[in-house]
Amino acid sequence: MKKTAFIFPGQGAQYIGMGKDLCDNFEQAKHVFEVADSILGKNISKLCFEGPEDELKQTINTQPAIVTTSIATLEVLKSKTGLKADFTAGHSLGEYCAMYCAGVMGLETTLKAIQKRAELMSSVSTGSMAAVLNATEEQLDAGLKEGSKFGYIDVANYNSPVQVVITGDSNAVKAAGDFMLANGVKRVVPLAVSGAFHSKYMESAGNKFEEFVKNIQLSDAQIPVITNVDAEITTNAEDFKAKMPKQIYSSVYWTKTIQKMVAEGVDTFIEIGPGKILAGLNKKIAPEAIVYNVFDTESLENTINTINEQVTKV
């Protein structure tokens, strides 16, 4: 039995103009942006549609902007197709879109939660991050060992078999990167982030977020969510409350998340939201799976037409 998963991107997927095309053409998207402007107390629509880029890429703005755009895109997709996911997941902040998709949180709660998360994470300016490409496990381990001589270092994201993101003290991250480049790793890319996300430096933010989460209303998931912190199926509201704060300072197990869904019978993934980052990662994790992207009117129509053609063939 074929199964479909909806997946949602995280920080780094943003670009100026995201969501505008959908907002101009579909009432469902327009409504989501209007609600976001009201709930967030700032013109998130203008930020998404017009920038400026230096404001859009600030964590405090990036997170609610991507979530708003992704949810607006989801609502349009649902209205045009009636498609339903068998599983859902999101990369880091994208997990909030997955929880919304699964009925764990309503729109207002999702926006308030991501805004609080963004505020807390942006308040931590310690450390840095870097993407490591095409390193073997041995090369990564050796790099982390070398980096640890200069301070705290950890793995933030296991994005695909050929991409991980390291996080920690700036000196340690740089030393690890330099060591790996000197020992056969072809690319290490410093990331433009405000601090060491998904590291122990985010524990204070996670603890404060735990207090916030205690007071929000969550429901059990209507669609299984594969959560970042453990790549396991999660449906219970209380389990989400426990995992949401932890996710801020824990590694993102994205490779295992996709592998888990494939093991559960998922053969089709629809990336919903700005960009095509997750589709690129999926090709490395599960090359046999079908991946669609929906981020504007053209990609929406292409996805609908291709799915309809597949159904007709069957």
Q: In whole angstroms, what is the distance from residue 266 CA to residue 2 CA?
A: 6
Burial readout 68-91 (b: 16 or more C-beta within 10 A, e: otherwise): bbbbbbbbbbbeeeebebbbbbbb
What is the predicted pLDDT for the residue at 194?
85
Q: Output the average pLDDT for the chain.
A: 96
Instruction: Give the model's confidence band at 311: pLDDT under 50 very low, under 70 low, under 90 confident, else very high.
Output: low
Note the pLDDT of residue 313.
Answer: 56
If pLDDT is split at 50, 70 and 90, which confidence band does 145 have? very high
And the tokens for 161? 């078999």
Which domains are seen in the chain, by residue range?
A: 3-123+200-313 (3.40.366.10), 128-190 (3.30.70.250)
Encoded amino acid at 29, one letter: A
Residue 314 pLDDT grade (very low, low, confident, very high; cuts 50, 70, 90): very low
Check residue 2 and give its pLDDT: 85
Residue 108 above 70 pLDDT? Answer: yes
Residue 159 host element (H or E): strand 153-160
Q: How confident is the model at residue 307 (pLDDT cuts 50, 70, 90)?
A: confident
Q: In this structure, is the dihedral angle defined by the CA atoms of residues 306, 15, 199 and 141, taken in order, positive or negative?
A: positive
Q: For 176-204, what is the mean pLDDT? A: 96
State pLDDT tens for residues 52-105.
999 999 999 999 999 999 999 999 999 999 899 999 999 999 999 999 999 999
- In the chain, the amino acid numbered 235 is T
Mean pLDDT of 188-206: 95
Sheet order of strands, 225-226 included: 233-234, 225-226, 87-90, 3-8, 266-272, 290-294
Band (308; pLDDT cuts 50, 70, 90) = confident
Integer CA distances (angstroms), 146 to 45, 172, 175, 301, in order: 44, 8, 7, 49
Question: Cα dist. 160→125, 132, 135, 189, 280 in Å?
Answer: 27, 11, 11, 15, 9
pLDDT at 309 over 90: no
Say which amino acid occupies 164.
V
pTM: 0.97
pLDDT in tens, 7-50: 999 999 999 999 999 999 999 999 999 999 999 999 999 999 99
Dist. CA 104–CA 222, nearest whole Å: 8
**Residues 73/272, Cβ–Cβ less than 8 Å:** yes
The predicted pLDDT at position 201 comes to 96
Percent of the chain with pLDDT over 70: 98
Query: What mean pLDDT do residues 273-286 have?
Result: 96
What amino acid positions are annotated as catalytic residues? Answer: 92, 198
Cα dihedral 222/228/229/235 (nearest 10): 0
The model's pLDDT over 219-262, given as tens digits with 9 standing for 90+, comes to 999 999 999 999 999 999 999 999 999 999 999 999 999 999 99
